[in-house]
Amino acid sequence: MSRPTRRPTRRLAGGSFLRLSRRLAVPAAALAALLASAAPAVPAAPTAAAVPPGHVYFWAERGQMGPGGAWDYAPPGYREAEPRVKRHAYSFDSHAQVSVYAIHFRAGGGCLYREIRPDDYDDDWSDWATKFDGVSDTKMGCEAG
């Protein structure tokens, strides 16, 4: 005659045993799922892997990094860059469906643009980083820079 199959037992502190029961496992799993979904959602700073379609991210440091994460632009229109990346955008990643234009306003007047095409990225944008004032979906009448 064969022995009946026994549920696993787990030894608790103090030497007592706990039998894992199917009746307890299902409600415990449901409770764990409920607690996980009840946790408050905290928005994370944008990262390189998180660039959504239609957006362009700019970072204050090379390698798509920097304090505060990425600064996000999505066409249409012009947006002035946030202080942490204004004249300090050392990397970017574009998932926009259209070309956008990094804009630089010259001290003596006038402006320059740099085209950023769909799916362009640069981990070391040093040649333009200190010129970056904002970004637009048009050239805004600026000269190529």
Report whether 63 contacts 47 (CB < 8 A): no
DSSP string, 61-114: BTTTB-TT--EEE-SSS-EEPPTTTTT---EEEE--SS-EEEEEE-TTS-EEEE
- Does pLDDT of 117 surpass 50? yes
Total Cβ atoms within 10 A of residue 112: 18
* 16-25, 91-100, 123-132: least confident range: 16-25
Could you tell me which residue, 34 or 68, shows the higher pLDDT?
68
Q: What is the reported pLDDT for 14?
A: 52
pLDDT band at 5 (very low <50, low <70, confident <90, very high): very low
Q: What is the reported pLDDT for 50?
A: 82
pLDDT band at 48 (very low <50, low <70, confident <90, very high): very low
For 87-102, the pLDDT digits (tens) are: 999 999 999 999 999 9
pLDDT band at 73 (very low <50, low <70, confident <90, very high): very high
pLDDT band at 41 (very low <50, low <70, confident <90, very high): very low
Q: What is the reported pLDDT for 22?
A: 45
Enter the tokens of residue 31: 């409770």
Q: What is the reported pLDDT for 62?
A: 97
Please give the average per-residue pLDDT across 38-65, as a whole number.
74
